[in-house]
Structure 1
């Protein structure tokens, strides 16, 4: 199963939902997909979906998913990492009115540059190759937890961003 989450930010993230739904419709994605849609206007036609999930439902979906695709909110992709899985991260972008600025891109790039295993999608048209690569390489089994180092580095990044 592929689990997609867009978080709880009040601006829609229709671009991601439409892309995933289109890949299902075209047959490029054949496994089941569940999408947490948040405040998006688009309602998926080819995937199961729910607007919001409880914490228990989120944890269950992350645990059961083979692949988790998430927006660039740190809490979302860090929760995937904490479960020993590598998230595919699609940051919300200002130019599509998905957020108030591009901080999700900036933050995700900093995390990648620090060597943490997230798969950052900078062009939505490339998402299928990320999904196919994930299938071929079984990346989640390559992940080794370094939670303590991550928390220390993450804290340092936040302190430097606030300065």
Structure 2
């Protein structure tokens, strides 16, 4: 099963949900896809979807999923990491009116560079290939020690501290 979350930001993330629906239609994805679609205007035809899920439901779907796909919000992509799953992360982009700016793109690039414990997708047309090769990609990544929560939290704190250096309190 593939679990998808677009978070709770009030701008729709139709681009991601439409691409997943298309990948299912084209049989690129053959397993069940369950999605939390938030404020999307597009209603998927081939996906079991919910506008919003409870905290416990998010955890349950994340635990059960073989693949977790999230938007670029840190809370969303940290959740699968807590279950030792490498998320596929598709940041929202301002050019598609998915967010007010491109901070998700910049943040995902920073985490990719500093921690390299997620699979970023900057062009949704790359999503099918990443899903097809997910096991191969994650096997290569799991050779690194990303799954230790304490180590991850320390590295994540260092990244955040670096971001706010020089910002007065």
Q: TM-score when scaled to structure 1?
A: 0.93
Structure-to-structure mapping, 1:59-70, within 5 angstroms:
59-70=59-70
* Corresponding residue number in structure 2 for 1:152: 154
- Which residues of structure 1 form unaligned runs of 5+? none
- Give the secondary-structure state (helix, strand or coil) at the position aligned to 2:133: helix
Instruction: Measure, in 2, the Cα distance between the counterparts of 1:140 and 1:67.
Output: 15
Give the conservation status (yes or no) of the 8 Å contact 1:3–1:68.
yes
Give the conservation status (yes or no) of the 8 Å contact 1:85–1:140.
no
Deviations 1:87-115 (A, max 9, x none): 00000000000011111111111111113
Deviation at 1:146, TM superposition (A): 2.6
* Corresponding residue number in structure 1 for 2:40: 40
- Which residues of structure 2 form unaligned runs of 5+? none
Q: Which runs of 4+ in 1 moved over 3 A?
A: 135-141
Give the conservation status (yes or no) of the 8 Å contact 1:13–1:92.
yes
Instruction: Measure, in 1, the Cα distance between the counterparts of 2:10 and 2:27.
Output: 31
Cα distance 1:69–1:140, how it changes in 2: closer, same or farther (>3 A)? farther
Structure-to-structure mapping, 1:92-131, within 5 angstroms:
92-131=92-131
Give the conservation status (yes or no) of the 8 Å contact 1:69–1:89.
yes
* Corresponding residue number in structure 1 for 2:50: 50
Q: TM-score when scaled to structure 2?
A: 0.90
Instruction: Measure, in 2, the Cα distance between the counterparts of 1:95 and 1:64.
Output: 33
